Structure 1
Amino acid sequence: MAYDFGPAKVTPTSISSLSTHTNGNGAGALSGSVQDERQRVFLQLKPTCVALLSPSLETISDAPNGRTILSALAHYVSFPILSLLKSPIASSVAVEKALCILCLLLQKCDTFPVSVFREFLVGLPLAISNGYFGKPTNKRVPEECKLVGVECVLALVGLSRRLAENGHENEIDLALPAYQPVIAHTIAVLLETLEKERGLELRIVSLTAVNTTIDVIRDADVLARFLPGISSNAIKVLTQDDKENHKLLVAGIEMMQNLLGRVFDDADADRILGKRETGWGSLMGKGQGADSAKTVEGAAYRTVNTSSDARRPGPPAPLKRDKSWHTATLPRVGQTLRILLQLRHHTHWKVRLALVEFSSSLIIRCCRMLNPSMPTLVDTLVLYVDDEYPAVASACAQKTVIISSAVGPDFELTATLKENFHSLLLSLPRILTKSNDSQQLETFSRVNGYLILLKEQMVVTLNTCFDKLFGGLLGVLTFDTSDVKVVEDRMIGGRLDDLRQDGRRVGGEGRDRDRSTGGYHSVRFPRRRFLHVHEDRVIKALCQMWRLVGRYGDKMHIVDRLMSYVRENQPGDFEAPALFVLNEVLLGAGADSEGGLGNEGRMTFSVPLVNSLVREFSRSAILQAPTNSEDFAQSEEMQKSSGLQRAVVRSGDDGTPSISFFNLTIVKASLLLETLASAAQILGRSFAPLLVDALYPMLEKLGSANRMVSDSAMAALKVAAYSCGYIDETDPVKEVGRMVLDNVDYVVNVISRRMRSIEMNPKVPVVLIAATRVAGRDIVQYMDDTVEEILDAVDEWHTRSEQLVSELLRALSALVEVMPSIDTDAPRLRAPSPDDIGPNHPASSDDVPPMFLHCSPEIQKFYLLNRRKGEAETSGTDAEFTGTSIDEIKDFFQAEHSKKKEDLEGPDSDHPMASESEEKEISLTQSQTLALKILTKATHFTSGPSPHLRAHTVRLLRMALSVLVGTKELMPQIHVMWPLITVRLGDSEAWVVEEAMEAVRVCCVLGTDFTRQRVAKDVVPRVVSFVRKLDVGGVKERRQYRSLVKMLKAFGDIVSSVPISGRDARAVADVVLELVDEDVVGKELAGCAERVLDAVIYTGGGDAVWLAAWVASGAVTPARDGLPRLRVPKWLHAKGRKEGQRRQEALGRLLERSATSSAVIHKP
């Protein structure tokens, strides 16, 4: 094939080896054999010569006038390189080195022989494909050699631009018809390399070479001939693999941007499509031009026919871009763009940035020539307005501003945006329900981009579409409430962490804001799951879309439509989706402006709207709906008692609502609380007056039994407290407590009003519990009347509603729990420390051995001081007590009794004002007054009909009794409570006995002298009877087993405080010894039983325990030397003895401890 370069013709065969020199006779100077040998040696020396030549050229090029020197040597150096590259037997190493030298030469030279340029332009594509300037062979071309060859092509194309600038424009213009076949072959080789090779660098350089060739060809009509081949091959390579390297994709996108921009440049639109002319004069001129065009067209036709008849050979007719070409090419280009823009979902930000440049460049340069593809390009650009990578989003915003000011009247950006946005909104529900996560994310990103670009100009479009699509959009946001685990899901950061903490409002433009929650102490709202939207990124984009709608849309219209669904005025249960959307719209409505819009007008408009919503939500029926079957049963019971009925969805077999109904109610309540939190953040300190309405329902939900609702309420309270100025960086709960205390009068007022109709407000006790737990003991001073009302309500309802009475008693317990009281836990038994006792330090159960716990304080102190004396003498220190004679002992005890008498009588016992001062000292505090009132009015509930009522009452009395420590009312109340509590030790329900035993323990700790004689009479027989009634060998997880464990722990503490001995100790030992076998009763219960027996041993009942353990073990030998041999009757022996290794080990331990204790106590 011949390539016509002008006057001369250059063929591949003409690019042959240089002819051998001839002598004067024309015969060869050398014989064939000698010439072959010389050629062989020359080929062996070629790699070495080439390797030596490359450093020389680099050295020359680095010289000050190196480019001039290389340009002068270009023809001389090119000669051996051409000779080497034409040889089919040259090694690949030699070819690679030669191409390296050629690449350096082409890059450094400013002038170059045109003939040699043409030789290399024809040969380099052959070298890339075949390894030399010739026909294909079976020899494989190495990838390194191809890489250098492509670099040579790139340098050669760059050289053509420099040669054209130096006066060779007419000879080196690659757009000339003679060069077109060569350029087409070169581009084909480069695209083939791009498609078949796997080396990343080689493929990128190939794309760069194609892109540079496109730049060099100045005639766009010539590029139009190459458009189909380049675009089809490039698109195939770029989109065939999703995991393609981002550098290759960026290079390919830049090449396509350059090609399409050159071919479809609007600068040629008037010539191709014709001018848009308006007016009568223009139309007249156009008609006259049409007549003349016919004459010219006929002459052209005749000219073409004449030349055709002559049949003169010449270059192929060039392609002319005209209207017919444009009409035929445009659909294919549109398809190519749609395929290429599939890369817009790529994860690497540089690919997305390249697509931003691609789309914006074509919109600016080709808005008229590629007008049908403008919506697709605009859609791509809009997709990145809210990109997660800041560089992409920033570049997109800049390009959008440039487009708005650069495009002419042929392309109206705003109109295109509105049209695309309208069509996207209409298809939004279908896309969201039938697409995967990536498509959903793309859809929301596109919508967000349109909203950010259009801003207030999209109000009409939104109102028109939303009126038709509100139901569909809310249906897409349906929550998944089919299972309990869906609701009780893990926690994630609530969307309130997007709010600003520096006094500014919510951001609405989709940027990655500071995720720190600042003063909110990591406020978290529960996670919710949607049926059709699953991924977190999609949910984030969805929330951003509704925030932008709230920021730029018609807020009043949108909120009114949403509230119509919340008020159940529309068909279908869309309350939960409407609340979700409403919360996001409010966050957008209160957003701070960072784009130049005035924020004052927006906030002025939003504040009245938010105020009305807060008041309406505070009275919403959603907060009154039951969230579990217990609440539903209580509501039904209270309604029947009051004669009122409320419509509730029922789907269970027993008439109760389904789990899905309860789960949906939970989601609604959580969303409503989050909306209140958003309103608090928007309003800031202006939310404080709204606490009159909003605080009570938030406290009610804080006490909910459902974790999701309770957590949402606490999060909302934290946000409200921080927004209203209650700031505590160390403890966020203190913020809420201060807010509740500052508004406690409103809360107490609502509680009092609703207590009067408690059958309609059964959750009033829950509010009181929540307020008490949050505010602490400071709230007690406001609860005098409330306690009276609760006690009256208990008296009225204790026979009608067991659950309500339990809640009321729990409220009183919570109130008593925060009152100041002493710790009534029994001290642990431990070995005494001599340093714990000083000369004036009273002895305690922690300081003395267990065997002295039943002795008087004087005996205990005498023992400890004498022990310290011995230790002091041993250590060589002075002793505090040195007397050992009977007189000194007598003086010690007389001094102790005199001191005790003085303490009892007091220094001013005979003074007439002594009684008044004593009365003044023991005056009751407000907490003690309330505790005394509870003890006085609640004692008769210990014999109530319900076991839960009895258990709650006993617990309440026990807690109130601890508040009265240090007052003269303590002992009278213990006298009153004792018979009522001890009777409950024989209750039929184990948990009641458990509470009664704990109350007895507290009485024994607080009133030891009073209970010392009564424990053996009232407590021990009932404990023995209770233990004997239980089947402790059964299932260990049941409630009775747990109650027995707790009861034994409390009884052990009682025995440690009030010693028992004699028959009572023996009765306890006999029954408790049956529980020391771990194999039968379990390790926990056996340990509790053994601790009870240890307490009996250490308080003087060691002999009883020893005898019972000795009989139970079956032993007949004396426990100590010197005692006579005893015989146990067979009936007694068989009654107590049971087999079991663990039991025998426990009995052995008890025998050893009881024997040691008895020996110490009875030692003469």
Structure 2
Amino acid sequence: MSISTQPPTTASRHAGLLTTLASIVRTLPTAAFTPGLINYLIFPLTTTLRQTANPAALPDAFLEAAFRLLSLVVSHWRAIPAGMDPAAWEQLWRFTVSAVGQRGKGKDRAAGQEVQLDALGLLSMLLEPHTEAGVVHPTPAMRRATSGPKASLMPTLFQSITLAVDCAVPSPPHPALQRAAVHLVRTLLGYLAGQSAVLASVLPGIVSAMAKDILGLGKALKGDVGAEMAGAIQDVVTETLDDNALRRLGVLRPQFNDLSELGEGWERGDMAEPPSPTPSSTSKPVDPFPPLTASYLEFTGARLQSTIPPVLAALTGHNSDLARRAAVSLAYALIDQCHEALPRLLPTALTTLLLLSQDDFDPVRDDALSKIHRLLRKEELDGALLDLLSSAINGLPRLIRSANDIKVTDAARLVTAIANVTSTQGSRAIAQLLGPGGNVERWAWALLDCLELDRPRGWSSGVNPAHRTAELGWGGSMVPNKMIEGTGAPESSYPHLQLRYVEAEASARALASMLEALGAAGGEAGLYSIDYFIRFAKAHRLREPAKAASAVWVVQRLLAGVASTHDGKAPRAVRKMARQVARTLVAMDDDEDEDVEWDGETDDPADAEALVPVERARGLDEITTLLDRTPRNSSAAAETARLQATAQRVLLSALSLSTLAECASILGRDFRPLLLHALYAILAALSSPHDLVRSYAGISLERVAHESGYASSQNLVLDNVDYVVNVVSQRLTYHRLSPHAPLVLIAMIRLVGAPIVPLVHDVVDEIFDALDDFHGYAALASALLAVLTTLIDVMAADTAASEPTDERAAARAEARRFLDPPNPQHDFGNFGKWYKAQGEMARTEQEDIIERVTRGPLGKYAEVSKEEEEEKIDEDQPDGPPPPTRSQEVAAQILAKAGYYLSHASPFLRARVLGLIARAIPVLAQAGREGDLLPVIDGAWPAIMARLDDGVPYVVSEAAAVVASLCEYVGEYVSRRVADDAWPRMSRILRTTKMIEAKTSLKGAYTVAHRLYIALMATAKFVAAEVPVKEGLLWDMMLAFRPFLDRRGESEIQDCAVELYSALRARDGDALWVVLGATQGSVGGMWAFLREEKMEIGENAARVLAEGEEGEFEVEEVDLGDPKEPEPEYALDAEFDLD
């Protein structure tokens, strides 16, 4: 109190005392605030303020403390039963506005913002409506002070609005100040409710300022602040330009629901035109708030048309859901309350609601949908929806071609929203568009032209289809492992196909969703457009493959949309259309092979007329000049067009597969009859040289199997294998030859595995017939051989999983007996067991003879029934070998006919046939079918040996693999031939390559020589381990393969060499010890000639020799000049019973 009479300064204690007082007041309970206490608290402050004539000159610190204290006091003052004194309320309001309304010039902006923030907080406390315990604030007296153009506080109210609008965009940014300012604007607008003339004067400033703030801040705009700004625009526009209010003022004509109301309005004069202001000659004071007129409405509507749409667009694309919901509220208010006053904003507001009805955030989407359904109860919006739909569809091709992905996405989402909304409201607009009366023939071309698909990713124009097809036949990439294993559900999504004029994937998916929504909204009427597009695709697949591919994509999306409206079984018309689409797509695939010649044709009229001048000329000189013109080079353009057409045909194939799967999802189990033709098309696509088509084929096959009621794609193929084999057989003839036919069989065999081998038994003869007819075509012959190799691989895998027969195991054991060194103790033991077995066998035979003796008449007097005679004949006949299985018959048939191609002119086919024979050997040998295998090998042996002398290294490798397989599985039968025929050729191969001098094996792991050496060592290892050969041949092997033990060679070659020498050590360890030791120089004497100083084989030699002994092997120098052999000692431990 002592300093309250002194004016506050920057150094005075006023601000500190006020801050201390405010902290004390915060501790007081609510019940303590009485009118007396409140007057006591503000008395020192009011005394100080009376000492200052200009409140704006007060220090910032004092004003901040004063505003905070007053805000605290007012918050309790307005809640007491007597309420706040109107005079004090008015004075505080005027003081606050006058204190900060003119600030900001020449002062610190940071301090000024704090003062403004506290001032806005005080104004909010003074003006914000509040109701508590029956106490209403502001009171009616306060309301009257701001009602009417001549109200006492109207200037203060306008100053407050100006202050709040100025603070809405603080510089530097101050989010709290901005939030408080926008909130105060909305509070102040509440005091002007019902005063249209006054609101009309503040509408332009508020809308312009809020729009400028929203658009200027952009992404930096906070979501809650943007929502408040949109709310301020909504409040001022709807309060000023409400249709009902303008109708009462006579600015808008009244509405009449029937003729009686129209007559009454005519009698009252309501039909007269609104009066327009006329100039007056009498001198009257100018009204600051003139009444609203039609001209004002027209002018304001034009200004708002350029201001509000950008605001709605900015809020619609904002990241905050609060801003997007504010856009929903503003758009709904403009349509619901101002659609007559502001008709030009109706399309923009309706577009905003429709776009936000597709929002990803559920609250925003649900809010927009609820408001749209509420608005659609008004019939006048049906026309606006149709106009939006028409303009969006007509403008879509232009937007797509302009490569504006954002606008394309918005247009697609708009059409999707309209389709969804109209379908729920029972509108027939979409059905009319897609139906017979929609003139699809007119707008389809422009739509397909802009929806052209781009080249698939990874697509290369340099792919050689024939070469790639051959690779797929021999590789394993046609059928994914997931499909072979049959695990997991079918994949739901195909690889994304990018549109040529739409870069963003989200935009392309929005267009796909748009087509599905149109199909769902059109219903069965949309089947007409589907039929048109599928016929368009079939008719234009050659001349316009790009538009044909786009048409199939449109068909798929529309068909999916039509089917999505039915939860259960689709209607008959939809199912009929699905069958028609599937048949058309299969027919297009069948015709593709016949139309291959079209790729080389170019029917470009411009090319035909390239040399003809488009002008009129006379005279020889002019004609000569024209002839001298250099014709334009059209080769580059023609090549580009050809590559583009090829890429589009690839896309057409991929989309046809996905559309077939869509048809299967609609038909369900009823799709099974269509598999008669569709399954071949899908399996043929698995052998496409393009990765995209194979990927689509794999997914489509799984989806078709799932939708058709099969447990897996393997079951689907097994159930329809006869149909596929029949189609393949037809396409292996002269009339319908297809390079994909053999690959279809390969895909089937790899997909199903061993169960399918007996079912394709009959096709083997047709394959060999085709080989006889078309062996000159390398790619086709390679694919045919790949079928046979795949069959053999499947059978070999099945054979490897089973144990060899008992007879085969016994034969192998007998053959191995000759490889083991003599063991007298073991041999005499076996002899004793054999002797006992012979005695038991003799006693068993005697007992059987005695039992068979007939007890009764003998000779011609014996009576023997017919059954007994047959049983006797059967017993007398010895048991033969079991009949071969169908798989073994197939293997024997393939092996018997493959030998003729060992002398084919193509080295690739020779190598493949050798590989086929190598794979077929274990199939027959493991099953004990040596009788079927060995005659074929006997006939083909000269050709196999000739291939060891072949000049192509990879053919030699395959021939060595055949010999290795023979040694492994039937070594006991081919031992002499291997020793006499095969090994000399292998030894010659090693010598002619000059491996030691040229160090070829040390040059790389991916050379042909590397693979050849691996094959030769594998063959030699099997010879050493399985074949009973002479010791001289083993000695030659030990010497020939020593360079491969060099530690400087490739690790793979070293490992194979170690395995080979380990097998040789098991056969003759002493000889191997001599060879390795003499090579290193540790064994001298008569073996010194084996010394090779350039070879570093010590480490690998130790590995070989250490495998048979405990610990590491160390070679000691030994002189073997006079060897002495110990006398063998035999001990007979077995006891024999010779009785």
Inter-CA distance 1125–160: structure 2 relative to 1 (3 Å threshold): closer
Which of 165, 182, 187 is the aligned partner of 1:212?
187
Correspondence 1:535 to 2:497 = no
Q: Secondary structure at the match of 1:1016?
A: helix
Inter-CA distance 603–352: structure 2 relative to 1 (3 Å threshold): farther
Correspondence 1:676 to 2:649 = no
Inter-CA distance 899–262: structure 2 relative to 1 (3 Å threshold): farther
Give 1:385 deviation, angstroms.
2.0
Inter-CA distance 544–80: structure 2 relative to 1 (3 Å threshold): farther
Name the CA distance, whole Å, in 2 between partners of 1:1070 and 1:908.
55
Q: Secondary structure at the match of 1:387?
A: coil
Give 1:47 deviation, angstroms.
4.1
Name the CA distance, whole Å, in 2 between partners of 1:441 and 1:487.
31
Letter in 1 for 2:63: V
Name the CA distance, whole Å, in 1 between partners of 2:839 and 2:401.
89
Q: Secondary structure at the match of 2:494?
A: strand
Q: Secondary structure at the match of 2:737?
A: coil
Match of 2:986 in 1: 1023
Match of 1:236 in 2: 212
Match of 1:179 in 2: 153
Correspondence 1:274 to 2:252 = yes
Name the CA distance, whole Å, in 1 between partners of 2:111 and 2:714.
81
The alignment of Structure 1 onto Structure 2 pairs a total of residues equal to 999
Correspondence 1:365 to 2:337 = yes
Q: Secondary structure at the match of 1:583?
A: helix
Name the CA distance, whole Å, in 1 between partners of 2:1124 and 2:502.
81
Inter-CA distance 320–1109: structure 2 relative to 1 (3 Å threshold): farther
Instruction: Check the 8 A contact 1:935/1:960 in 2, yes or no.
Output: yes
Task: Using CA pairs under 8 Å that are at least 6 residues apart, name the structure with larger relative contact order, 1 or 2.
Answer: 2
My pick for the range that moved more, 552-561 or 606-615, is: 552-561
Give 1:1087 deviation, angstroms.
4.0
Which of 681, 684, 687 is the aligned partner of 1:697?
681
Instruction: Check the 8 A contact 1:486/1:529 in 2, yes or no.
Output: no
Correspondence 1:222 to 2:198 = yes
Structure-to-structure mapping, 1:478-877, within 5 angstroms: 478-481=452-455, 484-485=458-459, 520-553=489-522, 554-569=525-540, 572-573=544-545, 574-592=547-565, 603-621=571-589, 624=592, 648=600, 660-727=644-711, 735-757=712-734, 760-798=737-775, 800-819=776-795, 856=818
Instruction: Check the 8 A contact 2:1039/2:1075 in 1, yes or no.
Output: no
Name the CA distance, whole Å, in 2 between partners of 1:477 and 1:916.
82
Give 1:781 deviation, angstroms.
2.8
Name the CA distance, whole Å, in 2 between partners of 1:761 and 1:231.
72
Inter-CA distance 652–452: structure 2 relative to 1 (3 Å threshold): same
Render the CA deviation track for 1:698-719: whole Å, top value 9, x for unaligned.
1122233433222211111111
Instruction: Check the 8 A contact 2:911/2:955 in 1, yes or no.
Output: yes
Structure-to-structure mapping, 1:271-420, within 5 angstroms: 271-275=249-253, 301=280, 305=282, 307-308=284-285, 317-343=288-314, 344-405=316-377, 407=378, 412-420=380-388
Letter in 1 for 2:893: K
Q: Secondary structure at the match of 1:922?
A: coil
Instruction: Check the 8 A contact 1:994/1:1043 in 2, yes or no.
Output: yes
Letter in 1 for 2:886: Q
Match of 1:191 in 2: 165
My pick for the range that moved more, 1027-1036 or 933-942, is: 1027-1036
Instruction: Check the 8 A contact 2:231/2:326 in 1, yes or no.
Output: yes
Name the CA distance, whole Å, in 2 between partners of 1:339 and 1:663.
42
Give 1:917 deviation, angstroms.
8.5
Structure-to-structure mapping, 1:40-189, within 5 angstroms: 46-47=14-15, 49-54=17-22, 57-58=25-26, 62-63=30-31, 79=46, 82=49, 92-110=60-78, 111-128=83-100, 141-158=111-128, 162=136, 165-173=139-147, 176-189=150-163
Structure-to-structure mapping, 1:1072-1091, within 5 angstroms: 1072-1077=1041-1046, 1079=1048, 1082-1091=1050-1059
Which of 972, 975, 982 is the aligned partner of 1:1009?
972
Instruction: Check the 8 A contact 1:680/1:723 in 2, yes or no.
Output: yes
Render the CA deviation track for 1:272-321: whole Å, top value 9, x for unaligned.
43325898968975889979979xx89x957xx2645xxxxxx9531321
Letter in 2 for 1:262: E
Give 1:1157 deviation, angstroms.
11
Match of 2:407 in 1: 439
Render the CA deviation track for 1:571-594: whole Å, top value 9, x for unaligned.
633122222222111211210358
Instruction: Check the 8 A contact 1:272/1:321 in 2, yes or no.
Output: no
Inter-CA distance 369–71: structure 2 relative to 1 (3 Å threshold): farther
| Gapped regions of structure 1 (runs ≥ 5) | 1-19, 21-33, 309-314, 490-516, 627-634, 637-644, 728-734, 828-840, 846-851, 863-885
Instruction: Check the 8 A contact 1:130/1:137 in 2, yes or no.
Output: no
Q: Secondary structure at the match of 1:116?
A: helix
Structure-to-structure mapping, 1:838-987, within 5 angstroms: 856=818, 891-895=828-832, 897-898=834-835, 919=879, 922-965=882-925, 969-971=929-931, 973-978=933-938, 979=941, 980-987=943-950
Correspondence 1:203 to 2:178 = yes
Instruction: Check the 8 A contact 1:75/1:116 in 2, yes or no.
Output: no
Inter-CA distance 715–277: structure 2 relative to 1 (3 Å threshold): closer
Give 1:687 deviation, angstroms.
1.5
Give 1:186 deviation, angstroms.
1.4
Name the CA distance, whole Å, in 2 between partners of 1:174 and 1:899.
134
Inter-CA distance 62–782: structure 2 relative to 1 (3 Å threshold): same
Give 1:1088 deviation, angstroms.
3.1
Name the CA distance, whole Å, in 1 between partners of 2:1046 and 2:820.
40
Letter in 2 for 1:664: Q
Q: Secondary structure at the match of 2:218?
A: coil
Letter in 2 for 1:567: K
Inter-CA distance 1100–786: structure 2 relative to 1 (3 Å threshold): same
Give 1:855 deviation, angstroms.
5.7
Q: Secondary structure at the match of 1:141?
A: helix
Instruction: Check the 8 A contact 1:555/1:589 in 2, yes or no.
Output: yes
Inter-CA distance 540–293: structure 2 relative to 1 (3 Å threshold): closer
Give 1:787 deviation, angstroms.
2.2
Inter-CA distance 289–762: structure 2 relative to 1 (3 Å threshold): closer
Render the CA deviation track for 1:1094-1123: whole Å, top value 9, x for unaligned.
433332276268447735x5x4xx51xxx7
Render the CA deviation track for 1:316-370: whole Å, top value 9, x for unaligned.
5313211111122111111111221231222333222211111011100111111
Give 1:51 deviation, angstroms.
3.8
Instruction: Check the 8 A contact 1:791/1:937 in 2, yes or no.
Output: yes
Instruction: Check the 8 A contact 1:652/1:658 in 2, yes or no.
Output: no
| Gapped regions of structure 2 (runs ≥ 5) | 464-485, 603-634, 804-808, 850-871, 1127-1139
Instruction: Check the 8 A contact 2:9/2:58 in 1, yes or no.
Output: no
Q: Secondary structure at the match of 2:709?
A: coil
Give 1:155 deviation, angstroms.
1.7
Render the CA deviation track for 1:236-290: whole Å, top value 9, x for unaligned.
1111132222121111111111111111111123224332589896897588997
Letter in 2 for 1:1092: L
Inter-CA distance 524–293: structure 2 relative to 1 (3 Å threshold): closer
Name the CA distance, whole Å, in 2 between partners of 1:685 and 1:967.
41
Name the CA distance, whole Å, in 2 between partners of 1:1001 and 1:705.
34
Give 1:418 deviation, angstroms.
0.7
My pick for the range that moved more, 366-375 or 1017-1026, is: 1017-1026
Name the CA distance, whole Å, in 1 between partners of 2:1025 and 2:333.
90
Name the CA distance, whole Å, in 1 between partners of 2:447 and 2:654.
21
TM-score by length of 2: 0.78
- Please provide the CA RMSD for this pair: 4.5
Match of 2:954 in 1: 991
